Amino acid sequence: GPPGAGKGTQAQRLQDEMGLKQLSTGDMLRAEVKSGSELGRRAAGIMERGELVPDELIIALIEARISQPDCRHGFILDGFPRTTAQAEALDRMLSSRGLKLDHVIEMTVDEAALTARITGRFSCAKCGAGYHDTFKPPAKPGVCDACGGTEFTRRKDDNAETVTARLRAYHEQTAPLLPYYRARGVLKKVDGMAAMDAVYSQIRETLAANRT
């Protein structure tokens, strides 16, 4: 799904309630760099030069991560793959380990509504509680419901121009993954514009369908 569809939120809930480990490639990269591992040192040098971390390094990172005990009950890939080439490399790596992806879940969205959802977000500068101009304003205007703070912040990239650019990149680079996984019979769609609990129920039903 495109940026802002709620992928990370749903992945976190699946991790908490089903024990499926959420694997964010960004988080994994930062953890490896911090650990000082060989992979981390290689990644750090690349990132310090402002270059993109190559696919083969990301795949090696994922392979090392899914070997850890907390992934033994399953895992969710969040933020990878983003291109068909990455999907093919991932398939080769998993196949070499006797594994495969059970499901690929597409969160479908209305892009105009998604843009409104993202650009209206803001949070309390003191405690981080999240709000929205339209869907979730503070009960008392200008005052945080959680801590009473009166200062709020917005992410710099939560603006219409940036969201449009991110959606364009999604359609050009990541959307081609849909026919790739559809051809393999693992792609399922859920309505990403539904309420969060309803989206979660759809995903749970999909995961339960072929669970052994």
Catalytic residue numbers read 7, 82, 121, 155, 166
Taking a C-beta distance cutoff of 8 angstroms, is the pair 44, 57 a contact? no
For residue 75, what are the β-bridge partners? 21
Give the C-alpha separation, 131 to 188, whole Å.
30
Pairing of the two strands 121-124 and 152-153: antiparallel
Taking a C-beta distance cutoff of 8 angstroms, is the pair 57, 51 a contact? no
Give the C-alpha separation, 161 to 113, whole Å.
15
Q: Which of 122, 115, 113, 107 is nearest to 166 (CA)?
A: 115
Give the C-alpha separation, 130 to 127, whole Å.
9
